[in-house]
Amino acid sequence: MMARKLPAKDVVIIGLGWTGSILAYELASAGLDVIAIERGPWRDTATDFPPSYSPDELRYAIRLDLFLRPEQDTLTIRNNLSQTALPIRHFVSFLPGNGVGGAGVHWNGQTWRFLPTDFRLRSHLEQRYGKAALPEDMTIQDWPVSYDELEPYYDRFEKLCGTSGKAGNLRGEKQPGGNPFEGWRSSEYPTPPLKQTLGPTLFAEAARKLGHSPFPQPASNLSEAYTNPLGLRIGQCTYCGFCERFGCGNYSKSSPQVCVLPALMRLPNFSAQTECEVTRINLDSAGKRATGVTYVDTSGEEWEQPANIVLVCAYALFNVRMLLLSGIGKPYDGQSGQGVVGRNYAYQTTSSVGVILKDKILNPFIATGAHGMMIDDYNGDNFDHSGLGFVGGGYMGAGQTNARPIQTRPVPRGTPKWGTQWKKATAETYQRGFSLSTHGSSYSYRDCYLDLDPTYKDRFGRPLMRMTFDFHENELKMSAYLTDRLAEIARAMDPVEITANPRKGPYNVNIYQTTHNTGGTVMGADPATSVVNRFCQSWDVHNVFVPGGASVFPQNHGYNPTNTVGALAYWTADAIRQRYLKNPGPLA
Amino acid sequence: MTATSISRRALLASAASIVVTSVSANARIITGAMPWSPSAANPPRPWRPGPWQFFTADEAATVEAAVDRLIPPDEHGVGGKDAGCAVFIDRQLAGPYGRAEGLYMRPPFMAGAATQGNQSPDAPAALYRAGLRSLADHVKANFGGASFAALSPQDQDAVLSGLEKGSIELKNINSADFFNLLLQNAQEGYFADPIYGGNRDMAGWKLVGFPGTRYDYRDWVERHNEPYPLPPVAITGRADWTVR
């Protein structure tokens, strides 16, 4: 049956999470007629995650009630090209969001900027260490945008969120108490740092003793009430310990629900359509211009939504799939290394050090997604990599996100998994045990990519996306080095016991790591190695933009992605408003 | 555990200031304001007391005995049985979890590398049914026709340990996988909110000192090394708040 055609809009947005809501607000404010089509349900604080039942570990953290259901969409996974990819039937390693707000509902609020050198990664490393220092199959590349260009947009996203933190570099001047390694900031954080519990405080003391520079992690769980530039009020965080995997019942974790939607929904020229899944972006007969999108509603009926501009604002992985299914850009072929869509998929190389202290009362349940004390001494190229045999790095430290007891019950090494001894150790260690972590980079490689699976299909019969990914020696060495440094600090905390867990290969989809999937629609200066140009505009179809989803990252750096995602959303919105609308066509 | 969309429909219909245009029964456009109205909610579904919903009487006896060895009663608090872990597992298996609702269950099912995750075509309810039947057969054959529940605690521990290590092989199911599923669900029952039938009297939370759903610790963040003074609270409150 033919899809029924709806009246045309100026802009159609696929997905109403952080990037979709920011772009919608910016473009609808400029007078454009905007519709966002979201495949999940509408969600708001009062209805879907009020304090009365939001703190429910089983429902949200274990049964994953707010996340994408694999029956709706998932992907297949293999570690290398010789394996047969099999479907992820139940998400564990990473947890894609679903519904209005997207991953902005369930994130932890860690709001980091990338380092200035991260944006010119390949040139910087080749200049400092020589071309031979990089593995031949490593496909890292410079970003097509500099830190200096992006700084005002980081600033805008942080002000949208009201991020709590302490600047370490204000317009080039080092600031005591902040991160001495960060890029320059045009202004102080919108709100002061969160208060620290005992665990992070002890970590910071130990790190300082060893000559490191600890600082409070930048957090979008707010230290005090704040009104953002859209006039929306964000509440003070109560340290409830139900952030990641949960919606915030206090309006104090920044999210599209709290920071954008109440203002956006008042704009009469914006509308949201929920529980409708876009199945493809439609192109004109020459394949050079998008004519709109086709979507399917919950009854299975197909609709065509014509539009002049199509914004691909789904979760990073599904941005890649949308372009592959729509035939936009040349698909990447892992055998030949040719093509671009799906190329340079990367992840995050995390590790931890478990610490058990003597006679301490940590009250570990007093927590937020992003409070904590960190050091950045071993991130990016903040330290000399000469002779280390790897490049890259990450931040590390003590961030107590929760101590919800189904998942968080530290016990000494060698404790049985059940029975009398297990129970005794569980009771005795809960207040004294916690975990330090490293958050390492994941550089891109020729054999780590996304394409369409030859076997498995979704409910509409479309191929699932296939992920081919494993950790490479560079990342495993980096993780071992960082974890050793973290263990040194842990030893300085006078522990009873520490357990270092550096990241080990192969990549295991059954172990939770992070929901930081990057790349696949990489931004770049050269169409031979990128899918979108420096304004996140498709090289092939000029009225299609991928405005800042982490799919545009050329590789992943040693930080959480959301701040960069938000900054790029504003960057793209400005490019569309100030350049594209005046002269629709390729911007680069 | 997923609430119906009745509240959502009611909410959309009742919000007069919002323009809700239906282009068909299922394609809904929201514009003009946040689609919110009082009393709309998506609350959890509490467990209901009553007979077993999934387990047979024999299966229930086995699971109650097993959870009481996995989490034994002792001076630190009640065991898995009295905390309601078997009831919790029963209600979970009778619901969406037991049916693997929401998971990707399309064929082909192929065994893969361990790194590729669970590829079983069986939902948890089917795994329990097969695992408990095989376990009953094993115990009957090796302990003179007895049931698991009738064994001494030492023998029960030996059987559980054999499953955990894989030294006891079960028909039709990997014994270690079955053990891990049972252990995972027993611990979920011991530490989940009591609204799902386990963690009775918040025994699991009292064991470790978790205050539950208090949701506001602002006055205690910087009181380092001081025990948090308030007892736990669950989604439905505390037993001593209820008139008996």
- Cβ contact (<8 Å) for B215 and A238? yes
CA–CA separation, A580 vs A259, rounded Å? Answer: 26
Q: Render pLDDT for B79-107 as a digit per residue (tens, 0 to 9).
A: 999 999 999 999 999 999 999 999 999 99
Token look-up 């805008």 returns A156
pLDDT-above-90 percentage for chain B: 79
CA–CA separation, A94 vs A517, rounded Å? Answer: 8
- Cβ contact (<8 Å) for A271 and B29? yes
Instruction: Catalytic residue, from A385, A516, A542, A557: name it.
Output: A516
**A1-83+97-157+246-338+521-588 to CATH, choices 3.40.50.1980, 3.40.50.2300, 3.50.50.60, 1.10.287.370:** 3.50.50.60
pLDDT, residue B7, reads 39
Q: Render pLDDT for A81-114 as a digit per residue (tens, 0 to 9).
A: 999 999 999 999 999 999 999 999 999 999 999 9
pLDDT, residue B40, reads 84
**What ipTM was predicted for this assembly?**
0.96
- For A250, name the nearest residue in chain B, comparing CA atoms only: B215
Spans of all domains in chain A: 1-83+97-157+246-338+521-588
Question: A569 vs chain B: nearest CA distance in angstroms?
Answer: 22
Length of chain A as a residue count:
588
Q: Has A90 been annotated as catalytic?
A: no
Q: Which amino acid is it at B103?
A: L
CA–CA separation, B135 vs B149, rounded Å? Answer: 11
- For B237, name the nearest residue in chain A, comparing CA atoms only: A52
CA angle, A158 then A39 then A66, to 5°: 65
Q: Render pLDDT for B1-23 as a digit per residue (tens, 0 to 9).
A: 333 333 333 333 333 344 545 44
Chain B residues whose beta carbon lies within 8 Å of the beta carbon of residue A510: 114-118
What does the block give as tokens for A405? 């007891």
Mean pLDDT for the stretch of residues B31-46: 86
**C-alpha torsion angle, residues B180, B181, B182, B186 (rounded to 10):** 100
Ranges under pLDDT 50 in chain A: none
CA–CA separation, A272 vs A270, rounded Å? Answer: 7
Q: Which of A65, A79, A455 sits opposite B115 (nearest CB)?
A: A79
Q: What is the DSSP letter of A272?
A: E
pLDDT, residue B2, reads 39
Which distant-in-sequence residues (6+ apart) come within 8 Å of A71 by Cβ?
A459, B101, B102, B103, B104, B105
The backbone torsions φ and ψ at residue A226, rounded to the nearest 5 degrees and listed phi first, read -155, 145
Mean pLDDT for the stretch of residues B153-181: 97
The answer to whether residue B46 scores a pLDDT higher than 70 is yes
pLDDT, residue B6, reads 34
Instruction: Judge contact between A190 and A201, C-beta under 8 A.
Output: no
Name residues 64-93 of chain B within 8 A of A (Cβ).
Answer: 69-72, 74, 76-77
Question: B140 vs chain A: nearest CA distance in angstroms?
Answer: 24
Instruction: Judge contact between A125 and A538, C-beta under 8 A.
Output: no
pLDDT, residue A1, reads 57
Q: What is the pTM of this model?
A: 0.95
